[in-house]
Amino acid sequence: MEDMKTIRRKGYSREGFWAERNGKKYYVSPAKIKPTRFKIHQRGSGKGEQILPPVERPGAMTIIAQEMGYGRPTDIPYGEIPEYAQLLVSAYGKKSALGMIRRQLVYRKNMTRIRDGTSVEKFQRMFDIILSM
């Protein structure tokens, strides 16, 4: 994780101006803006809290798919998804398996159908099967 970056903002004198807010005109008085210092914990496109914690076991779903004879979980045909879900639950437990599939759904939620194919539907089906166990 990146170290926190300290931001130092220089103080300045702000002139008065008229602002329109919610259809009404307000006069903003002149003010002296004080200098500030603060730390930024996370910068860039992912501002705010992380949605998902870091992956604990990378490649865990792929290992089960390879045991079934497929390269990765998205290669598994629709007919064998219930069997794959059962193997996933028996290997890692229901809660961990749901977390793994939920991560995959979040990672793929903005992908287009052309790039992603039907993997979103496959993972959603796995999620529903494990949830109903």
pLDDT of 32: 96
In a domain, 48, yes or no: no
Residue with tokens 């914990």: 41
Q: Are 89 and 127 in the same domain? A: yes
Region of 128 on the Ramachandran plot (φ > 0 left; ψ -120 to 50 alpha; else beta): alpha
In a domain, 49, yes or no: no
Q: Can you read off the two tokens belonging to residue 55?
A: 């992956």
Q: Whole domain around residue 13: which residue ranges?
A: 5-40
First to last CA, the chain: 37
The secondary structure of residue 42, as a DSSP letter, is S
How does the average pLDDT of the chain come out, rounded?
A: 83
Give pLDDT tens digits for 50-70. 556 677 788 899 999 999 999
In a domain, 51, yes or no: no
In a domain, 27, yes or no: yes
Q: Are 78 and 30 in the same domain? A: no
Q: pLDDT averaged over consecutive 10-residue blocks of the chain (133 residues)?
A: 73 95 94 90 58 75 92 88 93 91 80 63 90 88
Domain count, the chain: 2
